[in-house]
Structure 1
Amino acid sequence: MLAALFGWYRTKKSLAFLRAFIDDSGSEKGDRRLFLAGYLNRADKWALFADAWKEELRAAPSIDYLHMVEAGNFRGQFHRKLGWNEEKRAEKLRSLARVIRHFDPISFQISIDRNHFYEVLAPVSPRGLANPYFTSCSALIAKLAQQGETTGTKGKIEFIFDSQEGVDDDMDMFFDDMMQGISKKARSWIAGRPLFRSDREFDGLQAADLLAWHIRREHEEVGFPNMPMAELLRGNNHIVSEIPNSYIDAWAEHHRQQPGISSVQSKTQWRNLKSEARKLRSVGINPARVTKPGVYYPDSWGIFGRVLELARRLLGR
């Protein structure tokens, strides 16, 4: 099954370059679950998709871009004063969904219980790691890379996320350490650090927004049949993953046992840490690899231990 999902992306002459576009949608109901969802396809198919997507955006009634917050609430380009109603909106979204289905991408989703995360893990985490979006980004990258590994083929995936303030800096600083938790073969599927871009810049992010919004709405409509649009957008091959609360509990228990958390929990402390780290980067030093001579930190510390040691070195704690 996984070979069918990933293996067909490989060409006979060379490895196909893949792109995954990911957006998020967070619920304010129940467990306030955060969903990250998106699509994976070959780069050449994404180029063709962009032309088809723009053509459908321009088709009457036309819009310049798709943003589901506007569509869902009849705001901005979907304002009722511009002639939009439920029927016209539904047909526009269905037309865009048909464009996505035409290119037959792999769709995927990952989710996390934000209530549990903020209650249990955030209070004992460094500022940058106390963010469920950050955690979900790294977990999703690892999940898709591991899926690729199991196929027995080779490939490269470029990950492009919708912009999130501060997360790009945090991810850039500790990405290499985060990825040490997966196998070397899985890491070989990752085409460098993830990018964080505006959905105005990449049409694939607008498609991911459409999927994430409907998956989140489907989650909120407990007891109702699957939303037809969610089913249409999921496509033929869909990967579902969830970060269990038991993982969050285990991470929190580990964090509680480590000294020095208070030195990297405020916004100012975290900003200072990143500022000092950037100075090291500017002279060719990887700040995530800075450690005291002769001091050994077990692998179980991972990125968490790196953050604390970096804080002690750079901030003099």
Structure 2
Amino acid sequence: MGAHQRLFVAGAVRNAKRAFIDDSGSEIGDRRLFLAGYLNRTDQWALFADAWKEELNAAPSIEYLHMVEAGQLRGQFARRHGWNEEKREEKLNGLARVIRHFEPVSFQMSIDRSHFYNVLAPVSPRGLANPYFTSCSALVAKLAQEAARVDSKSRIEFIFDDQDGVDDDIDLFFDAMMQGLSKKARRCVYKKPLFRSDRDFVGLQAADLLAWHIRREHEECGFPNMPMAEKLRGRSHYVSEIPNAYLDAWAEHHRQQPGVDLVRSKAQWRDLKSRARQLKAAGINPARATKPGIYYPDSWGFFGRALEFLRRWLRR
């Protein structure tokens, strides 16, 4: 059984769907971070994996797709291997045809990283000072809400590309974050998001192709194949962003809360997560553990209030 089939065993989860998500961050302008990807039935993803690998193997072949290599004609796309702009476009168009054949739903979520780092990060605890953490939670929430609206029987498994450190934060605090959703929307989420390598899950390579082109489209740079972004969008394409006004409101909320200085450093954040796991193992909700001298004084109360503020946005 291939890696793309191991997470959902066929027939084990009814109405099973899977969303693959990758990110692409701009370093110009507002330094906007995009999370983008595709949603489809798990049986379609299994067929997709075979078709994608066949296209990868078609001459000139590559082992996997990394758009950072394709865009810069390096790595597997290096000119010394015989690649040029024309051959690259032929390969990308072939991969785009595979995506379009399986007709997945496409989606994107974005956040203004410059505003985030200037306004929100300085007053946030370490884990919440990462725009990827916020965007990941928001994207799952929005797709779950949309699934509940159009197909409440769906169960979606979310798979993100590997993110150093974020996977551990999401694993620990995701359940608390999702309490902001309706029961109907929460039922559409199949367990916590997973973070995996795009070498093992080719759906992540497809998400990389989409996220990269959406980011370049936003930058309005002169990459010669910008119409590709439109080709890669599905017939249904969902667009969402976290407005700067919400970042401002979160920052104002955070500034008024005690305890943030207790969870700013890497060591403090690691200690908080260790204590959180101990509390959860004892059947205690860490976000509500505020009793000084027994639990973590001040910072637990802060974290619980910070989560509640974010949950209110997720309920929009």
TM-score scaled to structure 1, two decimals? 0.86
Q: Which letter maps to 2:307?
A: I
Match of 1:288 in 2: 286
Query: How many angstroms does 1:252 deviate by?
Result: 0.6
Matches within 5 A, 1:68-83: 68-83=67-82
Distance 2:65 2:249 in 1: 39
Could you tell me which runs of 5 or more consecutive residues in structure 1 were left unpaired when the two chains were aligned.
Answer: 1-13, 307-317
Cα drift, residue 297 of structure 1 = 6.6
Distance 1:222 1:71 in 2: 16
Could you tell me which residue of structure 2 aligns to residue 309 of structure 1?
Answer: none
Picking from 281, 287, 307, the partner of 1:303 is: 307
Cross-structure match for 1:314:
none
- The one-letter amino acid of 1:160's match is I
Residue matched to 1:120: 119
Cα deviation for residue 183 of structure 1 reads 1.1
Give the match's secondary structure for 1:150.
helix
Matched residue, 1:28: 27
State the 1:275 CA deviation.
3.0
Aligned residue identity for 1:212: A
In 2 relative to 1, CA 266–156 (structure 1 residues): closer, same or farther, beyond 3 Å?
Answer: same
Counterpart mapping for 1:1-317 below 5 A: 15-151=14-150, 153-221=152-220, 227-280=226-279, 283=281, 285=283, 288=286, 291-292=289-290, 301=305, 303=307
Residues 299, 173 of structure 1: CA spacing in aligned structure 2 closer, same or farther, 3 A cutoff? Answer: closer
Q: 1:224 to 1:172 in 2, by over 3 A?
A: closer
- 1:260-286 CA distance string (max 9 Å, x none): 1001011121122223334555x5546
Aligned residues of 2:257 and 2:302 also touching (Cα < 8 A): no
Please, what is the CA RMSD of the aligned residues? 2.6
Superposed displacement of residue 153, structure 1: 3.3
For residues 160 and 16 of structure 2, the distance between their equivalents in structure 1, rounded to whole angstroms, comes to 17
Alpha-carbon distance between aligned partners in 2 of 1:212 and 1:96, rounded to the nearest angstrom: 14
Per the TM alignment, residue 302 of structure 1 is displaced from its structure 2 partner at its CA by 5.1
CA offset digits 1:13-41 (Å, max 9, x no partner): x8410000000000011000000000000
Q: Following the alignment from structure 2 to structure 1, what is the Cα–Cα distance between the partners of residues 34 and 75?
A: 24
Partner of 1:8: none
Distance 1:221 1:78 in 2: 23
Distance change in 2, residues 1:143/1:299 (3 Å): same
After superposition, what is the alpha-carbon deviation per residue over 1:201-259, rounded to whole angstroms, capped at 9, x for unaligned? 10000000000000000000079999210000012110000110011011111101000
Tell me the distance in 1 between the aligned counterparts of 2:75 and 2:29.
Answer: 28
Of 25-34 and 174-183, more deviation after overlay is shown by 174-183
CA spacing shift, 1:185–1:41, aligned 2, 3 Å: same
SS state at 2:230 partner = helix
The secondary structure found in structure 1 opposite 2:40 is strand
- Distance of 1:25 and 1:91 partners within structure 2: 22
Identify which range, 248-257 or 143-152, moves more after superposition. 143-152
C-alpha distance in structure 1 between counterparts of 2:284 and 2:85, whole Å: 52
- Please tell me whether the aligned partners of residues 180 and 308 of structure 2 are also in contact (alpha carbons under 8 angstroms): no
Q: 1:17 to 1:152 in 2, by over 3 A?
A: closer
Distance 1:180 1:18 in 2: 21
**Matches of 2:284 and 2:71, distance apart in 1:** 43
Name 2:4's counterpart in structure 1.
Answer: none
Ranges in structure 2 where 5+ consecutive residues have no aligned partner: 1-12, 293-297, 311-316
Give the counterpart letter for 2:84 in structure 1: N
In structure 1, distance between residues paired with 2:205 and 2:89: 16
Go from structure 1 to structure 2 and tell me whether the alpha carbon gap of 1:81 and 1:152 turns closer, same or farther (over 3 Å shift). closer
Report the secondary structure of 1:121's partner residue: helix
